[in-house]
């Protein structure tokens, strides 16, 4: 098995056991991509346990492919012809999960106009996956334990037990042993599920799987779009391998879909490999003419605007003379005076003046929060995505925007 054998049978085994083993490794079930040594070992374990009707507990970080692995086990088992039913226990409200799992009789609660079978009944003859089982309420854990031990359930307000012929798989991205110690998970249920534990390592620990997975996703989504296929350049492959993949396989799939949109032709280069968020290149040469006019109106020439302020230790904006401070809060209205109105009318249009005020307020808010984009967006009352868009537009128009966490960057504002 360590050398890659899918399964084995003893010499004195019956012919039907040999036939079942051959069937498990030659059927048309889903294939897992496993180029890394650790992945091949996991595949061997999955193939071996698939033929044994025992509970399997799959653990690992979010996005490592626990549900895909569970489906693989189901398709390689003698229950492959039966249903595979997956329940995301974290996505269902506590007061609904019991009815969803065990079913209910007519009149069990308000709105129960007819009887309904639960997920256990729907999985009869097949496999039930309890995804994120750690999120089940303690009270419901006791009922789940009884169902697993007795292999029977009762619907809500039911009067007779229903025998079960279901294989149960469970998965969690938590450490269930810690949950047991903290009193958040029943110890007896933990050991009931922990019959055959399989831990899926994160993608960053399976480097040999990254490129084959990326290529499979690229082929899948390229064909959906009508293309024959694409290839990753060596630089793109290097960029994929160097990423830490906090979102694991799910993040890789998203990155590949994004790369197919950004790629030119049938080659995906490193420029098309964009991690969240997609960055925009600044274009200082696209500064509009009205910006230069505003600069000359304030200081008599564009050079005066770019005067460094070396004395500033915590970075703060260097604002040219003649620029009034931005409003202290949204909705603030400055006093209207004829003098100010005349200045604005002679220097800028209304649209330009509003844009100048907006840019100045964004930069001063970034100053106040030390460059933290998320906090700045909250103070400005806009989303982080909107703030990123506005900062990219400011860069395109030649406005210098401080980098995150910079302690010495000067900010230069234009306009009057």
pLDDT tens-digit readout, 254-296: 999 999 988 888 899 999 999 876 655 555 554 455 445 544 5
**Interval 350-357 mean pLDDT:** 75
CATH topology assigned to domain 285-412? Arc Repressor Mutant, subunit A (1.10.10)
CATH number for the domain formed by residue range(s) 15-201? 3.40.50.300
Assess whether pLDDT exceeds 50 at residue 97. Answer: yes
Strand extents, DSSP E, 72-151 = 84-88, 127-131
Looking at residue 224, its pLDDT comes to 73
Looking at residue 282, its pLDDT comes to 53
Q: Where are the alpha helices (DSSP H) in 105-200?
A: 119-122, 138-150, 176-181, 187-193
Residue ranges of domains in the chain: 15-201, 204-272, 285-412
How far is 395 from 176, CA to CA, in rounded Å?
48
Q: What mean pLDDT value characterizes the chain?
A: 79
Looking at residue 374, its pLDDT comes to 86
Looking at residue 20, its pLDDT comes to 54
Q: Which of 167, 170, 166, 165 is nearest to 67 (CA)?
A: 170
How far is 2 from 42, CA to CA, in rounded Å?
10
How far is 293 from 155, CA to CA, in rounded Å?
77
Q: Which of 196, 266, 265, 189 is nearest to 230 (CA)?
A: 266
* Residues pairing with 163 in the sheet: 152
Going by pLDDT thresholds of 50, 70 and 90, the confidence category of residue 323 is: very low
Would you state the structure tokens that stand for residue 412, as one six-digit string?
């230069």
How far is 241 from 207, CA to CA, in rounded Å?
7
DSSP type of residue 205? G
Assess whether pLDDT exceeds 50 at residue 321. Answer: no
How far is 186 from 176, CA to CA, in rounded Å?
9
**Interval 293-322 mean pLDDT:** 45
Looking at residue 13, its pLDDT comes to 61
3-state secondary structure of 36: coil
pLDDT tens-digit readout, 133-188: 999 999 999 999 999 999 999 998 888 899 999 999 999 999 999 999 999 999 99
pLDDT tens-digit readout, 39-89: 999 999 999 999 999 999 999 999 999 999 999 999 999 999 999 999 999
Going by pLDDT thresholds of 50, 70 and 90, the confidence category of residue 347 is: low
Q: Which of 247, 250, 187, 178 is nearest to 214 (CA)?
A: 250
CB–CB of 194/153 below 8 Å? no
Q: Which of 227, 170, 162 is nearest to 195 (CA)?
A: 170
Question: By mean pLDDT, which of 181-195, 201-215, 380-394, 401-415 is the weakest?
Answer: 401-415
CATH number for the domain formed by residue range(s) 204-272? 1.10.8.60
Looking at residue 280, its pLDDT comes to 55
> In Å, how far from its chain's centre is CA 150?
38
Assess whether pLDDT exceeds 80 at residue 358. Answer: yes
């Amino acid at each position: 098995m360590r050398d890659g054998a899918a399964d084995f049978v003893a010499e004195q085994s019956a012919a039907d056991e040999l036939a079942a083993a051959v069937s498990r490794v030659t059927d048309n079930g889903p294939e897992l991509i496993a180029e890394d040594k650790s992945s091949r070992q996991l595949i061997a374990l999955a193939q071996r346990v698939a033929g044994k009707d025992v509970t399997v507990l799959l653990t690992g970080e979010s996005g490592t492919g626990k549900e895909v692995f569970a489906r693989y086990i189901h398709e390689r088992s003698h229950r492959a012809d039966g249903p595979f039913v997956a329940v995301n226990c974290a996505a269902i409200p506590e007061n609904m999960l019991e009815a969803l799992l065990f079913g209910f009789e007519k009149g069990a609660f308000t709105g129960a106009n007819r009887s309904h079978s639960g997920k256990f009944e729907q999985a009869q003859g097949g496999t039930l996956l309890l995804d994120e089982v750690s999120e089940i309420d303690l009270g419901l854990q006791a009922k789940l334990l009884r169902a697993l031990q007795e292999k029977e359930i009762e619907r809500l307000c039911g009067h007779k037990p229903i025998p079960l012929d279901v294989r149960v798989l469970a998965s969690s991205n938590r450490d269930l042993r810690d949950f047991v110690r903290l009193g958040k998970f029943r110890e007896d249920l933990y050991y009931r599920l922990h019959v055959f534990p399989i831990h899926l390592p994160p993608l960053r620990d399976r480097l040999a799987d990254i490129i084959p997975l990326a290529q499979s996703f690229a082929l899948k989504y390229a064909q959906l779009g009508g293309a024959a296929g694409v290839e990753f350049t060596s630089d793109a492959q290097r960029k994929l391998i160097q990423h830490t993949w906090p979102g694991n396989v799910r993040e890789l799939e998203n990155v590949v879909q994004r790369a197919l949109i950004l790629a030119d032709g049938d080659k995906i280069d490193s420029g098309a490999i964009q991690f969240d968020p997609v960055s925009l290149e600044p274009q200082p040469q696209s500064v509009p003419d009205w910006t230069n006019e505003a600069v000359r109106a304030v200081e008599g020439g564009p050079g005066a605007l770019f005067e460094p302020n070396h004395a500033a230790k915590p970075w703060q904006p260097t604002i040219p003379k003649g620029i009034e401070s931005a409003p202290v809060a949204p909705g603030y209205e400055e006093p209207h005076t004829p003098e100010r109105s005349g200045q604005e009318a002679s220097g800028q249009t209304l649209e330009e003046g509003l844009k100048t005020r907006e840019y100045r307020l964004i930069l001063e808010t970034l100053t106040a929060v030390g460059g933290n984009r998320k906090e700045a967006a909250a103070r400005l009352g806009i989303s982080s995505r909107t703030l990123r868009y506005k900062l990219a537009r400011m860069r395109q128009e030649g406005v210098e925007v401080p980098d995150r966490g910079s302690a010495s960057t000067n900010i230069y504002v234009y306009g009057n």
